Amino acid sequence: MNTLTLKAGREKRLTFEIKEKLDIILELTKIRITTFVTLTTVFGFICFSEKITTALIPAALGILLLSSGSAVINHYQERSTDALMKRTKHRPLPSGRISPSAALLLALALSIGGSVVLYFGSGLLALGLGLLNLFWYNGIYTPLKKRNALAIIPGSLVGALPPMVGWVAAGGSLSDPQIIILAFFFFIWQIPHFWLLLLVFGHDYEQAGFPTLTQIFSMDQLARITFIWILATFVTSLLIPLFGIVGNVFVDFGLLASGLWLSWNSVKLLKPVKEKIWFRFAFREINLFAVLVVVLLAIDKLLI
């Protein structure tokens, strides 16, 4: 009986340790963000190929691994400032749940693995775009946002590159106007996406020493600026059909209806008295809008 009890206790501890390590890895790789990055890569592939083939697997897997490696590097780069913010102080590195050296080894393994998969599965150009995304995020945007409150504008390139990876992996060219407008949509979308996050956690960023627009503009002013960028995201989505990507009028109406819904719900940002819960709703809605655009265009390519 004692032997069985000890064995059960060891198995329980082992299960707990495995779960804890898995949780750390998922948090370090920012799994929700990297999953969306992978989704936009798949989206770019489908928009060119208009079908799902086995060539999609290395493109999606390679970007998932490479973006996960980039996310771990970002955790390493920002471990000191993360420790100063209420929202991030419990992350694996500032909380001490994993050592910086172990995080770097994980980042290296993921980045190398993703690079190998992309190169052999999708080609040199896809790999080049993936590595450019990693360099831009970790080498340009991350250091720049500690110096300039408008770093998100050049930093939004990281949202535009993944669909390009999918496009070229499917056989497309970077000079194709269709992928340029799709990449431009994700570039524009990323700006209000970040500023809505800033409206919720601006105090945290300031406390950690980041220059923020909340130090330049009032919350009302920044909310109005963000509203304009939300409208710009909507207008950009309406440009997509003009580039010959959409083949069905119902998808056109779907894009229009989704954009009108987003714009109508975002009008609350113009009201003089706002609570953070409104910003959270707007943040959720602009993310949902991006997903709706992806789903509508994927349906157009695959099912209609």
Whether 180 and 247 map to the same domain: the answer is yes
pLDDT on residue 24: 92
Considering the domain boundaries, does residue 154 fall inside one?
Answer: no
Give the helix, strand, coil percentages of the chain, each rounded to 5: 80, 0, 20
Percentage, residues of the chain above pLDDT 90: 64
Considering the domain boundaries, does residue 157 fall inside one?
Answer: no
Instruction: Give the C-alpha separation, 72 to 89, whole Å.
Output: 15
Considering the domain boundaries, does residue 5 fall inside one?
Answer: no
Whether 16 and 144 map to the same domain: the answer is yes
- Spatial CA neighbour of 28 closest among 118, 113, 129, 105: 105
Look at residue 273 and tell me whether its pLDDT is greater than 60: no
Per-residue pLDDT band at 269 (split at 50, 70, 90) = confident
pLDDT, one tens digit per residue, over 81-128 is: 988 888 888 999 999 999 999 999 999 999 999 999 999 999 999 999
Q: Let me know: does 120 contact 58? Beta carbons within 8 Å.
A: yes
Whether 126 and 180 map to the same domain: the answer is no
Considering the domain boundaries, does residue 156 fall inside one?
Answer: no
**DSSP state letter for 210:** -
Work out how many domains the chain is built from and give that number: 2
Q: How far is CA 144 from the centre of its chain?
A: 18
- Spatial CA neighbour of 164 closest among 203, 132, 190, 120: 132
Look at residue 226 and tell me whether its pLDDT is greater than 70: yes
Q: Residues 217-224: what's their mean pLDDT?
A: 84
Q: Let me know: does 97 contact 204? Beta carbons within 8 Å.
A: no
Whether 139 and 186 map to the same domain: the answer is no
Considering the domain boundaries, does residue 214 fall inside one?
Answer: yes
Per-residue pLDDT band at 144 (split at 50, 70, 90) = very high
Look at residue 21 and tell me whether its pLDDT is greater than 70: yes
The enclosing domain of 111 has a CATH number of: 1.10.357.140
Q: What is the dihedral of CA 201, 207, 208, 212, to 10 degrees?
A: 60
Q: Let me know: does 82 contact 93? Beta carbons within 8 Å.
A: yes
Look at residue 80 and tell me whether its pLDDT is greater than 60: yes
Which of these three, 100, 134, 149, is where a domain ends? Answer: 149
- Spatial CA neighbour of 159 closest among 190, 137, 130: 190
- Structural domain that includes position 20: 10-149
Considering the domain boundaries, does residue 127 fall inside one?
Answer: yes
Q: How far is CA 302 from the centre of its chain?
A: 24
pLDDT on residue 222: 84
Whether 195 and 280 map to the same domain: the answer is yes
pLDDT on residue 136: 96
Work out the number of other CB atoms within 10 angstroms of the CB of residue 207: 13
Look at residue 7 and tell me whether its pLDDT is greater than 70: no
- For helices 177-207 and 276-302, the axis angle rounded to 10 degrees is 160
pLDDT on residue 119: 96
Considering the domain boundaries, does residue 167 fall inside one?
Answer: no
Whether 216 and 267 map to the same domain: the answer is yes
pLDDT on residue 197: 81
Considering the domain boundaries, does residue 162 fall inside one?
Answer: no
Q: Is 0.75 topped by the overall pTM?
A: yes
Whether 130 and 54 map to the same domain: the answer is yes
Map tokens 């609570």 to a residue: 275
**DSSP state letter for 203:** H
Q: Residues 4-16: what's their mean pLDDT?
A: 63
Map tokens 């190998």 to a residue: 116
Whether 264 and 139 map to the same domain: the answer is no
Whether 223 and 270 map to the same domain: the answer is yes
Instruction: Give the C-alpha separation, 73 to 96, whole Å.
Output: 16
